[in-house]
Amino acid sequence: MKLKKGDLFIALILAAAIISWYGINKLTEPEDGRQIVIEVNGDLYRRIPMHEGMKRQEIHINLENGKYIDIIADENGAYVRDVICPDKICQKTGLVNKVGQSIVCLPNKVLVYIDGNIKPEVDGISY
């Protein structure tokens, strides 16, 4: 089987597209791969890559029975700005920005955590 000019041209275009896609994904991926992950009722709601210079995102999640939770995500991490639940423990948790840290709202079944490629640091309490 002999390759024609058209076959070679298509193969080159395909190879260039694959290399470009791989390069773009590697350039836009943060070095440590940190991501803010939001889960509602055990299902993935949103995954936000953390990187320097990222714009602040205000995420409003409407829950059942008129409840809601407002989450702020930016290059510094994520925190709960406002929530409708009895104790507001998730709001009192504050900013999470290191791999392994999480915010949990049990009454609303919302989980916000930082995921990434680096291992979490060991502190005095967990050691």
Q: Per-residue confidence at 31, pLDDT binned at 50, 70, 90?
A: low
Q: Is the domain defined by 35-115 classed in CATH 2.60.320.10?
A: yes
Cα–Cα distance for residue pair 127/112, rounded to 1 Å: 24
Rg over alpha carbons for the chain, rounded to the nearest Å, is 21
Question: Is 70 exceeded by the pLDDT of residue 29?
Answer: no
**Which pLDDT score is estimated for 120?**
61
Q: For the chain, how far is it from start to end, CA to CA, in angstroms? A: 65
Summarised one tens digit per residue, pLDDT across range 53-80 is 889 999 999 998 889 999 999 989 999 9
pTM of this prediction exceeds 0.75: no
Cα–Cα distance for residue pair 29/33, rounded to 1 Å: 6
